[in-house]
Structure 1
């Protein structure tokens, strides 16, 4: 007879092994059971049992014959996950947005609404966001999937224990209980977590299983400047979770006053406002806050492509400031790459040379310490995608939280 403690330990071990197999498929792609056994150190019998359970939970499916196998080829399995979805959301100065991903990272739904968050009460902004979340969750359910969680990125300092935005300088918010207000509107359907948008953008950029993205510094630019640090594949949050507020490094002590109240913060010379002020007069359409950011940046790129001197000079000047601030961070952290995200990526082809020049000039180590500059392919969607990715992590940590279903036709056996 098995004692209760022993049964509990066995259940815990099985949950851990389920997670190990599922993460291996996420990080390494389709594998045969034999390959999974060799890579995880589990027996082939154990792996077969674990795969069968993951199939029953709708998380794994057959992927055909394993390619490149030595000896008798085996049938490989891959992530399925069409039955679960992670929800991400973002609150920024100019918009609220949502996105849903399935377990394979495929986008199931995406919505965005432009608004002036500074001009509206926080409760109204969160009400608008809650409407978008419910719309996104509805899209997911129409596809036969079920949301497993919501992670919301906010521009500012977040107390993650209390889901509280303690200070959002560009939003003009202080001590806003974002988590509680959203839960009141959404109900207890799935867990709701609040995080800093820069951290979530970093999560989206640090691709699991990609060795080139395990030591990176992500710099996310919009109205403000933020980001995050990934070291050996792990997001560094700092003692109280406030790491990554790069935009408030003082780089020009006699410069412009920042939204945080101090003078000369990095975002005052590298944020989107700085670029627009340099590139256009106040009555120019690219300075119109009612025009979508993507459209405004597309117009700046068009002008730069045509060789407009003012636009090119503005991009070079701001790019120089981006490189100067990045150099400070690279001297301290020596990452493999600095990933420019947000608006930096949108205009990066015209800014990159200036960023790289100032980076090389500002880093003590030769050749910038081996750090390369990369442009994000996610753009403004990085933070909301990182939120959805973070929500799915609960499934990768414990696949058993997803209910068993009848084995689907054509599933791995």
Structure 2
């Protein structure tokens, strides 16, 4: 029988030490070994049990027991005989399964809510975005809408037999990840908003763990694992939304800082005499390069906060800007030149601080990269430490506005790979001793 834990996960039965009555130290070792085998299969599969034993250093009997348990949890499956060209009986190949286990990432941003779901093997199960005016809505109304999107997506997964292993919510702000609370999100007007607590009251299973994290950090993880700069150990990701956030990968690891607040690059002051920012200060970088700044300069009649407007997805705003650009509107070209210049100025500071090899431009930056990158690169070269800019380049993301929700789902997958015991037993007859 499963029992809910404080963090929302389940164990197979109650015990004082570990899962299934195993003493704590043995449970920890087994959990670690399960993760070791699962990760090997996920990276190197199809592979045989013997190959897993050789690669991990575990004996064959232990590997067989671990594989049986991973099969019971629906995480590994057999694909048939594997012929390696040698004489003798062919071995049975193992591959990552996870077809019945889902990972859900959702994002709430200024003008949309997005959801992205995969199974643990990476098959995309849901990818949707709806226009929503979170900037003009109360936190309560925004959370209600977010809960509806989560409920709908979880219900869709349930209909196809997928059990979510977790939900991660991306929010553009400073996040207390231990409690799932948004400390402050200036562009949403949120302060001290308990996102995880609200979603725990939604119409979804109570044992689905819910986490909350910064949108730029999650997007940076998505870029690092599956984006245009995948595997680059030192990169900076810039969100390119109404607000501008940064996710920093340094030495192959996400840079979080002492409180997890690292990367709030949009609120670095670049112009002491500039525009007021929603954070309460003046001249923040995002007031120069955020989508709201571009819209204000390129299509002033459509600026955020001007009159009563229909809720518009950022893609719609960009389509209008591109249309006016194609029609030769000089305001659009001037706006793009101005944004590109300020983008390079701020990026020069990031290059001097973090020495990345790549600056990945997300959101609307990616959509308009052909015009923004040349101006930004020129300013970067002018202001960076000699040599650093020569070894760093801008590159446009191909993940669009879904990078954060994709990264959020990826975090769920990573946690499942790191702790397979968090996934409930589905086929008890396959479980090993």
TM-score higher than 0.5 here?
yes
Matched, 1:190 2:211: no
Once the two structures are TM-superposed, the CA of residue 34 in structure 1 deviates from its matched residue by 4.5
**Do 2:42 and 2:96's aligned partners in 1 also have CA atoms closer than 8 Å?**
yes
Distance 2:378 2:312 in 1: 32
Matched, 1:85 2:106: no
Matched, 1:388 2:409: yes
Give the structure 2 partner of residue 205 of structure 1.
223
Distance 1:35 1:360 in 2: 50
Matched, 1:41 2:57: yes
Which stretch of structure 1 is more off in the superposition, 209-218 or 146-155?
209-218
Distance 2:416 2:233 in 1: 21
Distance 2:428 2:362 in 1: 41
Q: Deviations over 1:359-382 (max 9, x none)?
A: 222221416252232221111111
Give the length in aligned residue pairs: 404
Distance 1:132 1:102 in 2: 18
**Do 2:180 and 2:212's aligned partners in 1 also have CA atoms closer than 8 Å?**
yes
**Do 2:352 and 2:384's aligned partners in 1 also have CA atoms closer than 8 Å?**
yes
SS at 2:157 equivalent:
helix
Once the two structures are TM-superposed, the CA of residue 246 in structure 1 deviates from its matched residue by 0.7
**Do 2:112 and 2:313's aligned partners in 1 also have CA atoms closer than 8 Å?**
no
SS at 2:68 equivalent:
helix
Once the two structures are TM-superposed, the CA of residue 250 in structure 1 deviates from its matched residue by 0.8
Give the structure 2 partner of residue 324 of structure 1.
345
* Unmatched 5+ stretches in structure 2: 1-16
Which stretch of structure 1 is more off in the superposition, 19-28 or 29-38?
29-38
Distance 2:106 2:56 in 1: 34
Alignment partner for residue 161 of structure 1, among 168, 178, 192?
Answer: 178
Structure 1 segment 203-352 matched on structure 2, within 5 A = 203-207=221-225, 212-282=231-301, 290-304=311-325, 309-352=330-373
Once the two structures are TM-superposed, the CA of residue 294 in structure 1 deviates from its matched residue by 0.9
**Do 2:130 and 2:313's aligned partners in 1 also have CA atoms closer than 8 Å?**
no
Which stretch of structure 1 is more off in the superposition, 162-171 or 249-258?
162-171
Give the structure 1 partner of residue 77 of structure 2.
61
Distance 1:336 1:228 in 2: 14
The 1:26/1:379 distance shift into structure 2, 3 A limit, reads farther
**Do 2:249 and 2:255's aligned partners in 1 also have CA atoms closer than 8 Å?**
yes
Distance 2:333 2:220 in 1: 28
The 1:202/1:63 distance shift into structure 2, 3 A limit, reads farther
* Unmatched 5+ stretches in structure 1: none
Distance 1:408 1:358 in 2: 64
Once the two structures are TM-superposed, the CA of residue 66 in structure 1 deviates from its matched residue by 6.5
Alignment partner for residue 170 of structure 1, among 159, 166, 187?
Answer: 187
Give the structure 1 partner of residue 13 of structure 2.
none
Once the two structures are TM-superposed, the CA of residue 274 in structure 1 deviates from its matched residue by 1.4
Give the structure 1 partner of residue 398 of structure 2.
377
SS at 1:388 equivalent:
helix
User: Normalising by the residue count of structure 1, what TM-score does the alignment of the two structures yield?
Assistant: 0.88
Distance 1:133 1:323 in 2: 37
Q: Deviations over 1:305-332 (max 9, x none)?
A: 6665442332232122112211211111
Once the two structures are TM-superposed, the CA of residue 70 in structure 1 deviates from its matched residue by 7.6
**Do 1:111 and 1:136's aligned partners in 2 also have CA atoms closer than 8 Å?**
no
**Do 1:304 and 1:350's aligned partners in 2 also have CA atoms closer than 8 Å?**
no
Distance 2:113 2:386 in 1: 41
The 1:65/1:342 distance shift into structure 2, 3 A limit, reads farther
The 1:63/1:290 distance shift into structure 2, 3 A limit, reads same
The 1:234/1:64 distance shift into structure 2, 3 A limit, reads farther
Q: Deviations over 1:37-56 (max 9, x none)?
A: 44433345543443333222
Matched, 1:16 2:23: no
Give the structure 1 partner of residue 130 of structure 2.
113
Distance 2:188 2:333 in 1: 30
Distance 2:210 2:48 in 1: 35
Q: Deviations over 1:163-183 (max 9, x none)?
A: 221211111122222222222
Once the two structures are TM-superposed, the CA of residue 25 in structure 1 deviates from its matched residue by 3.6
Distance 1:30 1:374 in 2: 34
Which stretch of structure 1 is more off in the superposition, 252-261 or 336-345?
336-345
Distance 1:74 1:366 in 2: 53
Distance 1:246 1:91 in 2: 19
Once the two structures are TM-superposed, the CA of residue 203 in structure 1 deviates from its matched residue by 1.9
